[in-house]
Structure 1
Amino acid sequence: SYEISKYNNELVLGTLLPRQDVRLKESQRTVELALERAKLASELDLNRARYELEQARIQRRKDNEKHAELVEDKGLLSIRSPCAGVVYYGRCVDGKWGEINSLKQKMLPEKTVPKGAVMMTIVDPSKMHVLGSVGEDEMPNVKVGQETKLETKAEGVEPIDARVASVESIPEGGGKFGLEIEITGDCPEWLVPGMTGKAKITTYRKKDALLAPTDAVHTDEDSEREYVWVVEEEDGKVEVEKQWVKTGRSKGKEVEILDGVKAGDVLSLDPDEKGTENKEDADHEEETDGDD
């Protein structure tokens, strides 16, 4: 029994306990390694979580910016008129709307409009004015404020009262000067922007002007003075006398006579007329030639 007890004691102290101690140490080491791995994994997960959180914040910021852009773009889809009026396709160039037909096709669903193109113009019919041009031969006689009559292409309507509002001092091409005409009379309801017509401007007014046919006025080749043939009938005898005249402005086939004849005088329209020369005028011409 003593031997058995001694053997068991040596077995326990020499073998079992050391082995158990080794197992405990190995188990402790395993637990420590597992703890270290857990800590490392936890740190990695935390860093990953922090990274993913930062990425989510960046993405959220981008999404917010994109959302703001979309909201702003949506606002651009709603076109608000800056004033009351009528919508015209395209833009107005010198009173003409040359882009209407092309833009009507481009503004259909699924069509595109060129970048920077003017899609439409808001026109206030109550503030219409007329754009026109005048030739360089007539430009010196056209002044701001002159009375004007507007004649549209509509048949059976009265001319519209207007006045010259402005005249360009620089030609726009082709010897034409642009001008703007303001409507002063009643504007008919059917008159709309884009219509065309003619404007008659009163550049000169003289109620008692004496007019004669331009065919009755001739120019002397030597003196370059103008004259007419005055027809006089006395006692059944017809006489034709040359009369020097001073002319003013002309309109169409008529010219203003400032001096030389009076109202009621009969003038010959025959370009080959031959008559007697006014003696006083002839003497005056000879004296003038002598002075020269």
Structure 2
Amino acid sequence: MSMASMFSAGALAQDAGGKADAKEEKKDEKKEGEKQEAGGTHTVARELLKQELELDGVFEAQQTAEIAIRPDAWQELSVLEAVAHGRRVEAGEALVKLDTKKIDIAIADAEAALKLAELAAAQAKEDFRLAQESHPLEMAKAERAAQIAAEDLKRFNEVERPMSEKSANFSLQMSEQSLEYQMEELRQLEKMYKADEITEETEEIILKRTRNEIEQAKFMFERAKLNHEETLKISLPRKQEETERAAKLSAIEWERTRVTAPIAMRQKELGVVKAAHDLEKAAEALAKLKSDREAMAVKAPIAGIVYYGRATRGKWTGGTEASAALQAGGKLTPGSVFMTVVNPETLVVRAAIDEKHVARVKPGMKARIVPTATPDQTLAATLAAVSAIPVDIGGIDAAATFQLGDAAANLAAGMTCKVKLVPVLKPDALVAPASAVFEDDFEFGKRYVLVAGGEKPERRDVKIGQRTDAKVEIVEGLKEGEKVLTKKPE
């Protein structure tokens, strides 16, 4: 079986790569020191120019699916059961079973709330429609009530009160006159009965009746005086006060209606808007809960191996926390990745390349990968790409594809390996020590050597090709056998 994978710089310990580079550099310097001659010179010769890099790498799957529940509203994610770490699953297979009793109750409540919101919106709309119809009638009613009260006050002051006062005075006068008439009639009867021949019995009857009528008239007169006083001092002033108060209240009520009725109409109109907004929110809340309920049915989006936690640039993290949360009764954190499904058929290798070697590492370069799990096994690889963006201080991404063959059965995402590269390799290069090539102080990019042999060293400009940490290929400016100084004279 064969599959294409890649290695790229990422979450790796850079000090390991740095130690490997330093080790290689020391070996080069040691060899170079052995060739240096007395007096600080070096004879330029043709030789193998080579530098090897050994990087720490980690196997990573190209195709992974992070599993996280990102609810919009529901936050309680209680685990009933979950598939085991390392188990192979098929696409669409259930990964986690969550307790849904509480969210189901919440959905039922949200559905009831939505129905209530629908009724409230309908009622607000109908109230506003009726208010629009009744508004002009209520305005006219309040205005007319104020007019009637004002008219009643005017009529009372101009007609009813004067007439009531006149009527009270006249009633009192009539009662007084009636008493006087009765008393005068009694006097006349008494005179007449003294001179006539009417029997004494008849006289007594008539006189008694007349005297009774006088008593009645006296009582009616007293009553009339009380009524007169009550009318003038109590009834009419109270009626005056009541009528004036009614007129003022009606005027105030009309002013209130004139000012507040449009406000009340606006409130009802806004009530329609608010009810519609509340209805929209209730529908949105229900939709979110239903969406969250669907999200709680966690299924594998791809076929592969289940890992607890997540991989960040090849390194697995959060496995311990996820393992505890995925036990029965555990709680998942909304939005956090607790599981990753890995397609083992798409392995890649990630490694960190020290930035000082990046210029020498090019896509297409051959590499060897030695898995830590099977150190006697070497996998051929080809560098596919190098990132232009550092992933850490001193670290640059690199990527390589390689053929795993049958060895893939022994490898898994998260396993480590060594990645060996040879960025510099030239069998017959004209080589000088890096310490013998100097940069011009006045012309940037221009290099030269100091050739020994005369009374004083000869400066000679050179062009360089490939280089290692300790050696430089001389492309132009020197010949084999010439001696160069390895440091500038004092």
- Length-normalised TM-score, structure 1: 0.51
Following the alignment from structure 1 to structure 2, what is the Cα–Cα distance between the partners of residues 135 and 270? Answer: 27
Equivalent in 112, 125, 129 of residue 344 of structure 2:
125
Residue 168 of structure 1 and its aligned partner are, at CA, apart by 2.9
Which residue, out of 463, 466, 479, partners 1:249? 466
Q: State how many pairs are aligned.
A: 199
Mapped partners of 1:272, 1:136: distance in 2: 29
The separation in 2 between residues aligned to 1:211 and 1:120, in whole angstroms, is 54
| Equivalent residues of 1:230, 1:243 under 8 A apart | no
Query: CA separation in 2, counterparts of 1:220 and 1:112?
Result: 64
Residue 144 of structure 1: aligned partner: 363
- Aligned-pair distance for 1:262? 4.6
Whole-Å Cα distance in 2 between the matches of residues 159 and 87 of structure 1? 27
Once residues 151 and 157 of structure 1 are traced to their aligned partners in structure 2, the CA distance between those partners, rounded to angstroms, is 8
Aligned-partner residue type, residue 429 of structure 2? A
Deviation at 1:188, TM superposition (A): 4.9
Query: Where does the alignment leave 5 or more consecutive residues of structure 2 unmatched?
Result: 1-107, 112-288
Map of 2:403 onto structure 1: 184
CA contact (8 A) 1:163 1:184 kept: no
The letter of the residue matching 1:214 is A
Cα distance change of structure 1 residues 112 and 209 upon mapping to structure 2, 3 Å threshold: same
Alignment equivalent of 1:93, drawn from 312, 317, 320: 312
Asked if 1 retains the 8 angstrom alpha-carbon contact of 2:355 and 2:396, the reply is yes
The correspondence for 1:212, drawn from 422, 425, 432, is 432
Structure 2 contact 309–316 (Cα < 8 Å) conserved: yes
Q: Is residue 195 from structure 1 mapped to residue 195 from structure 2 by the alignment?
A: no
SS of the equivalent of 2:412 reads coil
Corresponding residue for residue 163 of structure 1: 382
Contact 1:243 1:260 in 2 (8 A): no
1:231-268 C-alpha deviation (Å, 9 max, x unpaired): 8xxxxxxx9986844322211322212134455x3757
C-alpha contact 1:229 1:273 (8 A) present in aligned 2: no
Give the C-alpha shift of residue 99 in structure 1.
0.9
8 Å CA contact retained: 1:165, 1:181 = yes
Counterpart of 1:208 in 2: which secondary structure? strand
| Structure 1 residue aligned with 2:327 | 108
Unaligned runs of 5+ in 1: 1-61, 232-238, 275-292
Contact 2:424 2:468 in 1 (8 A): no
User: How far did 1:102 drift?
Assistant: 1.9
CA contact (8 A) 1:228 1:243 kept: yes
Secondary structure class of the residue paired with 2:327:
coil
Counterpart-to-counterpart distance in 2, 1:88 and 1:180: 23
Query: Could you say what the CA RMSD is over the residues aligned between the two structures, in angstroms?
Result: 4.4
SS at match of 1:180: strand
Determine helix, strand or coil for the equivalent of 1:102: helix
- Matched letter for residue 109 of structure 1: A
Whichever residue aligns with residue 182 of structure 1, its letter is T
Matches within 5 A, 1:260-271: 260-262=477-479, 265=481, 267=483, 271=487
- CA distance in 2 between partners of 1:164 and 1:95 (Å): 17
Task: Judge conservation of contact 2:369–2:420 (CA < 8 Å) in 1.
Answer: yes
For the residue of structure 2 that corresponds to 1:210, the secondary structure is: strand
Matches within 5 A, 1:41-80: 80=299
Amino acid in structure 2 at the alignment position of 1:196: T
Q: How many angstroms does 1:210 deviate by?
A: 2.8
Write the distance in 2 (CA, Å) between the matches of 1:272 and 1:138: 27
Structure-1 separation of matches of 2:294 and 2:447: 78
| Superposed CA offset, 1:111-142 (max 9, x none) | 21212222211212221012234444444444
Q: Please identify, of 143-152 and 120-129, the stretch whose mean Cα deviation from structure 2 is larger.
A: 143-152
CA distance in 2, matches of 1:75, 1:155: 41
Distance 1:225 1:141 in 2: 19
- For 2:441 and 2:356, the matched residues in 1 are separated by 27
